[in-house]
Amino acid sequence: MDGYSGITALVTGASKGLGEAYARELARRGARPVLVARSGDALRRVADAIREEYGVEAAAEAVDLAAPDGVSRLIAELDRRGRTIDLLVNNAGAGTVGPFLDSSLTRHVDSVGLNVVALMSLCHQLGGRMVARGSGGIINVASTAAFQSMPYQASYAATKAFVLSFTEALAEEFRGAGVRVMAAHPGATATGFFDGTSATMKPAFTDAPGRVAARTLDAFAKGAVNAYPGRASFRATTWAARVLPRTTATRLTARLNRAMGFDRAHDLDAPVAPPRS
Ligand SMILES: NC(=O)c1ccc[n+]([C@@H]2O[C@H](COP(=O)([O-])OP(=O)(O)OC[C@H]3O[C@@H](n4cnc5c(N)ncnc54)[C@H](OP(=O)(O)O)[C@@H]3O)[C@@H](O)[C@H]2O)c1
């Protein structure tokens, strides 16, 4: 896969946020995006806008990827429509914010289902076909959160650590098979990621999704295994985590997350936890 023009690219989580930005940037570079998320109406709106603005084919497949049969239903639908996927962008992701015990276990488990199980299943199903064909590419969206444990985002950071480790291993296994695999590590990006929680991101400390998407695709085109598409200071945090003792890195991250109020953050549909003494 030498470039983006004329390829078919499956982008998960493409109804909004970074996924919409990836789909748009791919279309701008001449690819035909296949957009996946749960919200069919929002997906169709994005697909219509892409067709109109970039003059490329764009398809929408509404699927809950965290459902046990989500990935197999998606693959069956792709097969039914005769779509061969050249590039898989595993972008859909979710996570809780706040003390671990204050979110329901279901929320934590669902994010593992989406961020880990669905991502791995898509790599197995579509990656297997790419290796058999001898061509294709996979971009797994991890995060700067992948590089250290994160108190108050404990299960989310752990899912992203999985994505980092898994992606680096696949990149090496698939090397020479004509299939390139890359992990992307955005930092804070201005999306609706915290919608549904009381947490917010400070606009001055977030990157624009369009810029993150463009820099991710540039890095993939250059053959990177890991991409840091956010501002330089976000990348610098990943180095600190690699040189500091692990407990120190975890405590520093806890302090940072407390400064952002994440120790008091909660899901908006959950009862507010009583203050801890
Ligand atoms: N924003 C950040 O600061 C940031 C930083 C680093 C990494 N990331 C990563 O970037 C990726 C995109 O995040 P974002 O910030 O763009 O979040 P977002 O605005 O909340 O978008 C998440 C996308 O995933 C889809 N999605 C959620 N649950 C799904 C499910 N069960 N099945 C299928 N699709 C599902 C959502 O659509 P529906 O609700 O319609 O399903 C939406 O399209 C995630 O992997 C996230 O971890 C984000």
Q: Is a pLDDT exceeding 70 seen at residue 274? A: no
Query: What are the pocket residues of ligand 1 if the criterion is a CB atom closer than 6 Å to any ligand atom?
Result: 12-19, 37-39, 42, 64-66, 91-94, 114, 141, 143, 186, 188-189, 191-193
How far, in whole angstroms, is CA 142 from its chain's centroid?
6
- Round to whole Å and give the CA distance between 22 and 241: 28
- Round to whole Å and give the CA distance between 87 and 75: 14
Active-site residue, selected from the candidate residues 4, 152, 156, 228:
156
Instruction: Tell which residue, 220, 56, 212, has the closest CA to residue 143.
Output: 212
Specify the DSSP class assigned to residue 276: P
Residue of 11, 16, 167 to test ligand 1 pocket, by largest number of atoms within 8 Å of CB: 16
Average pLDDT, the chain: 95
- Round to whole Å and give the CA distance between 268 and 270: 6
Interval 25-31 mean pLDDT = 98
| pLDDT of 269 | 84
Interval 131-160 mean pLDDT = 98
pLDDT tens per residue, range 138-147? 999 999 999 9
Query: Rounded to a whole number, what is the largest CA-CA distance in the chain?
Result: 59
Please tell me the residue having the least CA distance from ligand 1 atom 43. 13
Q: Where are the domains of the chain?
A: 8-264
70: part of which helix (H) or strand (E)? helix 70-80
Q: Is a pLDDT exceeding 70 seen at residue 16? A: yes
The reply to whether 152 belongs to the active site is no
Q: Is a pLDDT exceeding 80 seen at residue 132? A: yes
Q: CA-based Rg of the chain, rounded to a whole angstrom?
A: 18
Sheet holding 226-227, edge to edge: 59-62, 32-37, 8-12, 87-90, 136-141, 179-184, 226-227
| pLDDT of 271 | 57
Interval 7-17 mean pLDDT = 98
Interval 49-53 mean pLDDT = 98
Atom index in ligand 1 nearest the CA of residue 65 equals: 32
Instruction: Tell which residue, 95, 72, 182, has the closest CA to residue 136.
Output: 182
Instruction: Tell which residue, 58, 4, 1, 2, has the closest CA to residue 32.
Output: 58
| pLDDT of 196 | 87
CATH node for 8-264: 3.40.50.720
| pLDDT of 34 | 98
- Phi, psi of 148, rounded to the nearest 5 degrees: -150, 160
| pLDDT of 202 | 85
Instruction: Tell which residue, 129, 143, 118, has the closest CA to residue 174.
Output: 129
